[in-house]
Amino acid sequence: MHRPLRKNRSVVVTSVASLAALATIFVPLQSASGQQSGDAELVDAAALAEAAPAEWLSYGRDQAETHYSPLNQINSDNVDQLEVAWSWEIPVSGARLEATPLVSDGVMYATGAHSFVFALDARTGENVWQWDPGIPDERQGGPSVCCGDVNRGVAIYGDKIYAGLLDGRLVALNKETGLVEWVVQTTPPGQDYSITGAPRIAAGNVIIGNGGAEYGIRGFVTAYDTETGEEAWRTYTVPGNPADGFESEAMRLAAETWNGEWWVVGGGGSAWDTFAFDPEANLVYVGTGNGAPWNRDIRSPGGGDNLYLSSILALNADDGELVWHYQTTPGDDWDYTATQPMMLLDLTIDGRERQVIVQAPKNGFFFVIDRLTGEFISGEPFADDVTWATGIDTLTGRPIEAPEARYGTNRQGAFLSPGPTGAHNWRPMAWNPDTGLVYLPAQNTQSYYEMVTDFQYTLGQWNTGTTIRGGGSRTRPERPELTGPRTMLVARDPVTNTEVWRAPAEGFGGNGGTLSTGGNLVFRGTGNQLIVLDARTGEQLWSIEVGGGTATPITFELDGAQYVSIAAGGTREGPRVWTFSLGR
């Protein structure tokens, strides 16, 4: 066991009175359920754990992050009767839509670009309230963000809505009115941290990570009291300067797997997206990101696994203490993050009941891990083009790397698959207990990797130590052809860790997230369409154009009617929330 983290950091929680200026757009209306402020049902720990089918109270609907709903009014026999119930244009644009909406007490809560938060009547799409923190983009002096001014959604607990903001703040808004209750700066001011992920709730705290590894930061995860915003605990994902002492025994052990002066460029390991929570085990699961810089021979001369980069961490929900870890990509050299969505499942494997965590990170392998102990169970490729490793050693759980993969150690550039965008990225996968399948939005990608020989850390700029588009010291080899489709939905059996069916996408419109339901359906965003497939066969049953850049669909029930919603549409079409129901 590791010692609890030292809690010696100061916390600044701003009062409501001094935050009035933050609500640059504020339109409070009566609640959609017809109740006045203060009368709505509170969302407590039991409600989150129970995950009532009629609502969508957390990012994955349940805290296991399955993105599955047992609702079956809409099913494979009548899905072709779906019609638009309502749509609402999001008034803030400028980035992709990646949010998964939540629905509670008849109100939908979601986010748009630039950390814009809004609440809608889930029956009609009428605006209930909206809140814009007024964060400018990077060109106008806003925070440096790796990959767009996106936001993946909010969390609900008690009478509050929680959102992470691009500039590193975490804000609690009144669920009924949208007024600011408290706000805390979760990241060091003036440094290149950002928040694009959705918060999660665990053991009475709101959990949030951050991004920015490309700019040279040190990753961490923080838990804040849901009521007051006071810091409950903070867990770093990579070690800092040993001369400053270590925050925990886990950090001391991690430092033994690093070399050189890695702390100068931060080390990376940012937890910018995925979390899950097991209330019975009282464990928070965290996916960590790539190193800073990418290239290990610059970051950690002489090698090393560089814990806890590209890893799944299991943390004690009460104090953030590390319980176990599994590293999906030891000594990451390729931006193969483990920040991709994961889920908690109870499966029978080889005749034994197993409580597992499954994840398909960027590196192209689908992992099944014991979620109580961290024991490796299986790891198999889910993409067609995986060339950096030939497999996962079943005894050690470590990848069997291809000879050309370590482009820095070899001092020889190479085309490798996947590329930095990964074989799977931020798009949520979904589970269906009736079919026993995981529905994974996958892609085949590749990139040229070559070490930068004259690397110098530059504040405020990408610091990868790797060139991926040429311009290196050597002539690039000929680009190999991809063997599989650019994007596809893969239905995978996690018990046998094998593919059952796939549905390739036409062209390269880009994947969205997935939803599975008790109606034998899989809803998938892809390109500019929402597509519905038969969950058992993969046959396409229905589709509709919703605009380029689809996010992740959800489903809920109101007044006996089932609805499906998705955020979609880019700058060209205008971002919108679309909601569908059966024609009546």
Which H, E and C letters describe 421-474, residue by residue?
CCCCCCCCCEEECCCCEEEEEEECCCEEEEECCCCCCCCCCCCCCEECCCCCCC
Tokens of residue 467, six digits? 């060139």
Residue-wise pLDDT for 398-418, tens only, equals: 999 999 999 999 999 999 999
- Could you give the angle at the alpha carbon of 278 between the alpha carbons of 272 and 283, nearest 5°? 70
Three-state secondary-structure class, residue 534? strand
Helix (H) or strand (E) holding 299: helix 296-299
Identify the weakest region by mean pLDDT among 108-117, 460-469, 491-500: 460-469
Q: Mean pLDDT throughout 232-245?
A: 98
pLDDT of 566 over the 80 cut: yes
Structural domain 13-582, CATH architecture: 8 Propeller (2.140)
In the structure, what pLDDT confidence band is assigned to residue 290 with cuts at 50, 70 and 90? very high
- Could you give the angle at the alpha carbon of 327 between the alpha carbons of 321 and 332, nearest 5°? 120
pLDDT of 42 over the 60 cut: yes
- What is the Cα–Cα distance from 338 to 375, expressed in whole angstroms? 17
Determine the pLDDT at residue 146. Answer: 82
For residues 186 and 170, the answer to whether their CB atoms sit within 8 Å is yes
Distance of CA 180 to the CA centre of its chain: 25
- What's the mean pLDDT when you consider all of the chain? 91
Helix (H) or strand (E) holding 236: strand 231-236
Handedness of CA 382, 384, 387, 388 (dihedral sign): negative
Residue-wise pLDDT for 503-522, tens only, equals: 998 644 578 999 999 999 99
pLDDT of 28 over the 70 cut: no
Residues 6+ apart with CB under 8 A from 125: 85, 86, 87, 88, 577, 579
Helix (H) or strand (E) holding 349: strand 342-349
Q: Could you tell me the residue ranges of all domains in the chain?
A: 13-582
> Which of 210, 224, 340 has the alpha carbon at shortest distance from 287?
340
pLDDT of 27 over the 80 cut: no
Half-sphere exposure of 341 (CA within 13 A, CB side): 31
Tokens of residue 228, six digits? 């007051």
- The better pLDDT of the pair 584, 38 is held by 584
In the structure, what pLDDT confidence band is assigned to residue 20 with cuts at 50, 70 and 90? very low
- The better pLDDT of the pair 458, 562 is held by 562
Catalytic residue numbers read 335
- The better pLDDT of the pair 282, 3 is held by 282
Determine the pLDDT at residue 16. Answer: 36
Determine the pLDDT at residue 300. Answer: 98
Residue ranges in 475-570 assigned as alpha helix (H):
none
- What is the Cα–Cα distance from 510 to 214, expressed in whole angstroms? 23
Tokens of residue 455, six digits? 């690397």
> Which of 406, 456, 103, 98 has the alpha carbon at shortest distance from 265?
456
Strand duo 68-69 + 511-517: pairing = parallel
